[in-house]
Amino acid sequence: MLDDEEFQLVTAKQVIGPDVDVRQRFEPFLAEYERLTGVKETNPNAVWHHKLSLYGPPCKSCGRPLRTPRAKLCGNCMAPVAR
């Protein structure tokens, strides 16, 4: 997972332009993701889901991140979230 600052570093590496093919566009993007996380990802779409602020805090029962910051139930262990 990437915090907001790391996510900004990764997304800033996209190459945008009319003559840029998909591989050229995302190669530096994926390389920066690998440098920060140590995980070699080949699908650029998967990286967009690794932004920590998209998810809620860790569940108090199982420790997994909640699906959203406003979750009322843990998607992993089904424990209710006390607010």
pLDDT in tens, 18-43: 888 888 889 999 999 999 999 999 99
Which of the two residues, 21 and 72, has the higher pLDDT score?
Answer: 72
Share the mean pLDDT of the chain: 91
User: Average of pLDDT values for 45-64?
Assistant: 91
DSSP for 12-55, please give it: TT----TT--HHHHHHHHHHHHHHHHS-----HHHHTT-BGGGS
* pLDDT category of residue 6 using cuts at 50, 70 and 90: very high
Q: Cβ of 69: how many Cβ atoms within 10 Å? A: 11
pLDDT of residue 78: 96
